[in-house]
Amino acid sequence: MEEESNPWPSFVDTFSSMLCIFIFIMLIFLLNNMLVVYESAIGGKSKVIYQKQADLIESKQENSLNALNKTQVKDSIQKTLMTQNEENGESLADIKKEISNQHDVLIDKTQEIQAEVESYKESFIPLLEKITFMYQKIVKKTLLTKRDNDENEK
């Protein structure tokens, strides 16, 4: 007796494989988004702040050196160094605050991404259960049909 080929098992295997690949790609996409958010939150802004601060200090020094004589330059440099130290302390405190705020934003984004992954999990698991149930019904029906056919042939 020839065995009939059933396309359903291969279809279900293919579908479940594609579903796993889709979920894997979504996880990679979410991880990439997390890295982009982290990089933009931490990396980009502190570089800009340091560059602006360096440009400001340089322009202040050039202006003061051009306007003052040697004795005033010495006093000016001392004052400038003192104010720069104070400004650096203040700017470092501001940078720490900003990084702390950005860290909080990053935590919020991470929690949003985790919630999205959970929602995917909640929506795909029932779908997989339905597919499994359908597959079981088809296999059961096929086996019963085969058994009935075998009994009828005898």
Instruction: State how far the Cα of 8 lies from the Cα of 134, in Å rounded to an integer.
Output: 10
Q: What is the pLDDT of residue 65?
A: 59
Q: What is the pLDDT of residue 11?
A: 62
Q: What is the pLDDT of residue 1?
A: 45
**Sites in the chain below the pLDDT cut of 50:** 1-2
Q: What is the pLDDT of residue 64?
A: 62
Range of the domain at 100: 27-122
Q: Running DSSP on this structure, what letter comes out for residue 68?
A: S
Answer yes or no: is 148 within a domain. no
Answer yes or no: is 43 within a domain. yes
Answer yes or no: is 75 within a domain. yes
Cα-Cα end-to-end distance for the chain: 12
Answer yes or no: is 22 within a domain. no
Instruction: State how far the Cα of 48 lies from the Cα of 33, in Å rounded to an integer.
Output: 22
Instruction: State how far the Cα of 110 lies from the Cα of 37, in Å rounded to an integer.
Output: 9
Q: Which helix (H) or strand (E) holds 114?
A: helix 70-153
Q: How many structural domains comprise the chain?
A: 1
Instruction: State how far the Cα of 63 lies from the Cα of 133, in Å rounded to an integer.
Output: 80
Collapse the DSSP code of 6 into the 3-class scheme (helix H, G, I; strand E, B; otherwise coil) and give the result: coil
| Type of residue at 60 | K
Answer yes or no: is 2 within a domain. no
Answer for the pair 26, 94: CB distance below 8 angstroms, yes or no. no
Answer yes or no: is 48 within a domain. yes
Task: Select from 96, 86, 87 the least CA-distant residue to 45.
Answer: 96
Q: Which residues contact 88 (CB under 8 A, 6 or more apart)?
A: 53
Cα angle: 50, vertex 74, 80; to 5 degrees: 25
Answer yes or no: is 81 within a domain. yes
Answer yes or no: is 88 within a domain. yes
Collapse the DSSP code of 58 into the 3-class scheme (helix H, G, I; strand E, B; otherwise coil) and give the result: helix
